[in-house]
Structure 1
Amino acid sequence: MTDHPATDDIIGIGFGPANLSLAIALRDAMVGSPLRPSFRFLERQERFGWHRAMMLPGADMQISFVKDLVSLRDPTSPFSFINYLHVKGRLNTFLNLKTFNPSRVEYNDYLAWAAEHFADVVAYGETVHAVRPETREGRLAAFVVEGRDRAGGRRLRRCRHLVVAAGGDPAIPPPFSALVNDKRLIHSSWYLPGIAGALGQPQLEGPQPRILVVGGGQSAVEIATDLGERYPRALIDLAIRGPALKPADDSPFVNEIFDPAAVDRIHDAPAPVRAELIAAHRATNYAVVDADLIQAFYATLYEQEVSGVTRYRLRRSTRVLALEAGAEGLSALLRDDVAGIEDRQTYEAVICATGYERAAVPAILDPLRSFLAGETVDRHYRLPLDSAEPRVSLHLQGFSEPTHGLTETLLSILPVRAGAIAQTILAEERAARATIRTAAAQP
């Protein structure tokens, strides 16, 4: 345990793509500037990794490589995906692919390559439990970040500017949540290690394991497809709430919702109009699947009809009403809402591709609530603080979809958002330090 908290001017909680992009923006903003505040990032993973449990063979990114960590803010940056390809010696061969969408595996490698440049300011294996206020004469003067390091020891850190980009929590709705500690129940966020733990190595002989995948989005269909290839004898049910798998709308006019300028339009709109805009574009991101993947999955189902061998079943308009654990597997009570029929099926594994949930204010900030003037960030992603010193700010990344739009939880405008946060923090630092110099110069 540290008796005296280590102090940095800026601390970022989480070191995924959002705060990695912020690290680059902070470093860029300090080039040639006498202002050089210290910054540090805390990451609970033992090493950098982005959705490692969903690094599936053949899975591609759903956005252009141009929407990398920096290019929308500074296309000349050495941290661009193009420069990554150049450094790795793959620029020409990538161009020969004639695609804007790299594989998910390659993009993760790009992110890890960029993260390596900041190894000296990242504390990996450090889990944050709470952020507490440090006060001076009743005013919020600093944040004290409480956590555990990789050795399990208590760790305290202190800062004046805090940026939380800890990501969402896996959404595991009832009735699945009651069995969250059963290794046979798996969320997509831990799919690869989870399915290996539940089923072990593929068997070429013996019983055919039956697996249920729940969800109607991209991850659900990717997982269902991967299961069939990973476990050649598996029987896979894909249960979706709707009557059909729906394609993601990535047409040009609709796709403008992911432009940086769209954030201003949404943020500045009246609250009811803002909600309508976000709802109108949900088909770009939620419970939708790439058209190519839908086509491939449909072709697989058709080939089954031709061969007469059924391994995949698409269970449309179907809900899981109950889930019970037994020695033989997880017993699911399923209801087809269209036919009005219920049936019970036992599965060796159940996979929830049910997305993520995010509170407006992360729970680790609960000790600060008496200093919050509200739970809605401003245009620059700052939470309003009450009774705080001028040199103190609290920013959130990834928690403000209702006010900033669908880009908030995605990769689309990371560098623009990171640049705005970096410039806001540095402007506050300049103003505070100028005030301190003026006060010191007075007789």
Structure 2
Amino acid sequence: MANKQILDVIGVGIGPFNLGLAALLEKTECRSLFFDRKTCFEWHPGMMLEGTTLQVPFMADAVTIVDPTSPFSFMNYLHEQKRLYHFYFLEKFHIPRAEYNHYCQWIAEQLPQLQFECEVENIEQTEEGHFCVTVFSSRKKEQETYYAKHVVVGVGTSPYVPERFHSALGDQVFHSSQYKNKQENVLKTTSVTVVGSGQSAAEIFHDLLAKQQSHDYKLSWYTRSNGFYPMEYSKLGLEHFSPDYTRYFYKLPKEKKKTILDKQALLYKGISSDTSADIYDLLYERTIGAKTTNVHLQALTELESIKEKNGHYHLSMYQHEQEENMQLESEVVILATGYRSYIPDCLKGLKSVLEWDETGQLVIQEDYKLKLNNAGHNHLFIQNGELHTHGVGAPDLGLGAFRNAIIINQLAEKEVYQTYKNNVFQQFGI
């Protein structure tokens, strides 16, 4: 079935960033549709643990940074939910992760242009330069075709597991993104090993530590990092997640960017100091009176291989400073090995049109357009796929509304949203 109407924009994927784009487009006359294969909006459901919070302030909602008067702001959500006084007395800048997810669902329910249970299978260009988007509706069990002047790809990142562990993946060895779904079975096991150095690893470890006394399992946490270090959260450090730093980083030579990103891991990959403190406090309380815990924490130690034997897994570990190997056994292994951006299959139809750099990554312009070798008036934009070109702010929720403002001003061919050049106190370059 084909829809010959030419839309102004089609969004591929409905995560927080494209959801914000759809909400901010309400101030324009742009005709849009957004597609996602999920049945409804869900944000990291496998990590929706009780007590966890966003690592950014509530102002990093879908709209506030560029339009604080929007009816889709988090403050208006609280007003509609009759929770303003509750939030006022809460006196916290960082909201529960579950409430952020519910806030996004509240927005999604108000936007009919969001089409769930619809997977974008292919995108091609017509002779006129428009984008032809093929979508499979799992609800209707049929393929549909849509046309648009522009496309915004917002599929985000996907869970990453090193290839050498793929053969072991299953019910007992899995990525941290699946933890909530497998939690009940994990608690019934005799030994659990968490691998990773970031916030997901810390939250899972803390959750398992809190429940350990009600269950009888050994709990281990290993990381190849130098330590269980906190994320950089000083006020001047946070200014790296600003339009100003993004602008500075984009203009740096390509060869410098990767080196810089490798050194900035703790800006966005570390553990929140609150989670670290909660873990320490719990360990301290459990050891009162010279009691011992069935807990093991070890840094500088990399997981090299996983081999299954009689329902348990034999792990080969390597301690980097001592340069020695060690073996251990665990019934469950949780791999908090992070997320990576990827090229979605739906872009295969545009492979010959897209420009790629020498490392096989997409060439992305400063205004978030993918560079095409047949550049015309129709554009393909990307959300949270530009870490290699725009820096650490790419996945940050606090920059989502700003990026959407840049994109929308191009879609509407006028300044719908005002953006500012000086947003921080420090200077990043000469």
Same topology, TM > 0.5: yes
| Structure 1 counterpart of 2:49, from 46, 56, 63 | 56
1:249 Cα deviation (Å)?
1.0
1:211 Cα deviation (Å)?
0.7
Which sections of structure 1, spanning at least 5 residues, go unmatched? 31-35, 429-443
Q: Counterpart in 1 of 2:297?
A: 314
Which sections of structure 2, spanning at least 5 residues, go unmatched? 357-361, 415-430
- Answering whether residue 168 of structure 2 is matched by residue 168 of structure 1, we say no
Paired amino acid for 2:179: Y
1:38 Cα deviation (Å)?
1.6
- Answering whether residue 398 of structure 2 is matched by residue 412 of structure 1, we say yes
Q: Counterpart in 2 of 1:14?
A: 13
Number of residue pairs matched? 407
CA distance in 2, matches of 1:146, 1:126: 6
Q: Counterpart in 1 of 2:279?
A: 297
- Answering whether residue 66 of structure 2 is matched by residue 73 of structure 1, we say yes
Q: Counterpart in 1 of 2:131?
A: 142
CA distance in 2, matches of 1:82, 1:133: 41
Assess, with a 3 A threshold, how the Cα gap between structure 1 residues 299 and 212 changes in structure 2: closer, same or farther: same
Q: What pairs with 1:238-387 in structure 2 (closer than 5 Å)?
A: 238-275=221-258, 277-286=260-269, 288-306=270-288, 307-359=290-342, 361-374=343-356, 375-387=362-374
| Structure 2 counterpart of 1:190, from 175, 178, 187 | 178
1:134 Cα deviation (Å)?
2.8
1:357 Cα deviation (Å)?
1.1
Is contact 1:134–1:144 with CA below 8 Å preserved after alignment? no
Where 2:53 maps in the other structure, the secondary structure is: coil
Assess, with a 3 A threshold, how the Cα gap between structure 1 residues 91 and 3 changes in structure 2: closer, same or farther: closer
Q: Counterpart in 2 of 1:209?
A: 190
1:336 Cα deviation (Å)?
2.8
CA distance in 2, matches of 1:400, 1:344: 39
Q: Counterpart in 1 of 2:203?
A: 222
Where 1:102 maps in the other structure, the secondary structure is: coil
- Answering whether residue 78 of structure 2 is matched by residue 90 of structure 1, we say no
Q: Counterpart in 1 of 2:123?
A: 131
Q: Alpha-carbon deviations, 1:388-426, whole Å to 9, x = none?
A: 542x21001011112212111120111111111111112
Percent identity, aligned pairs only? 28
Q: Alpha-carbon deviations, 1:299-342, whole Å to 9, x = none?
A: 33344544433232102221222112334222222233334443
Where 1:284 maps in the other structure, the secondary structure is: helix
Relative to its length, the structure with more helix (as a share) is 1
How well do the aligned residues superpose, as a CA RMSD in angstroms?
2.3
Q: Counterpart in 2 of 1:432?
A: none
Assess, with a 3 A threshold, how the Cα gap between structure 1 residues 149 and 389 changes in structure 2: closer, same or farther: farther
Is contact 1:45–1:124 with CA below 8 Å preserved after alignment? yes
Assess, with a 3 A threshold, how the Cα gap between structure 1 residues 336 and 277 changes in structure 2: closer, same or farther: closer
CA distance in 1, matches of 2:105, 2:272: 26
Q: Counterpart in 1 of 2:101?
A: 108
CA distance in 2, matches of 1:267, 1:389: 23
Is contact 1:141–1:389 with CA below 8 Å preserved after alignment? no
Paired amino acid for 2:114: V
1:47 Cα deviation (Å)?
0.9
Paired amino acid for 1:192: K
CA distance in 2, matches of 1:305, 1:99: 31
1:277 Cα deviation (Å)?
4.8
Assess, with a 3 A threshold, how the Cα gap between structure 1 residues 325 and 128 changes in structure 2: closer, same or farther: farther
Is contact 2:37–2:119 with CA below 8 Å preserved after alignment? yes
- Once the two structures are overlaid, the 10-residue window that deviates more, 57-66 or 320-329, is 320-329
- Once the two structures are overlaid, the 10-residue window that deviates more, 211-220 or 252-261, is 252-261
1:169 Cα deviation (Å)?
1.5
> Greater Rg, structure 1 or structure 2?
1
Paired amino acid for 1:15: I
Is contact 2:134–2:143 with CA below 8 Å preserved after alignment? no
CA distance in 2, matches of 1:124, 1:57: 27
Paired amino acid for 2:352: S
CA distance in 2, matches of 1:293, 1:353: 16
CA distance in 1, matches of 2:83, 2:271: 29
1:132 Cα deviation (Å)?
2.8
CA distance in 2, matches of 1:154, 1:209: 47
CA distance in 1, matches of 2:242, 2:318: 40
Once superposed, which parts of structure 1, at least 4 consecutive aligned residues long, lie more than 4 Å away?
Answer: 3-7, 272-277
1:250 Cα deviation (Å)?
1.0
Q: Alpha-carbon deviations, 1:155-207, whole Å to 9, x = none?
A: 43332211100011211014322223x221221222111333x44xx55xxxx
Assess, with a 3 A threshold, how the Cα gap between structure 1 residues 338 and 299 changes in structure 2: closer, same or farther: farther
Assess, with a 3 A threshold, how the Cα gap between structure 1 residues 150 and 343 changes in structure 2: closer, same or farther: farther
TM-score by length of structure 2 reads: 0.87
CA distance in 2, matches of 1:89, 1:396: 36
Paired amino acid for 2:399: I
Is contact 1:135–1:142 with CA below 8 Å preserved after alignment? no
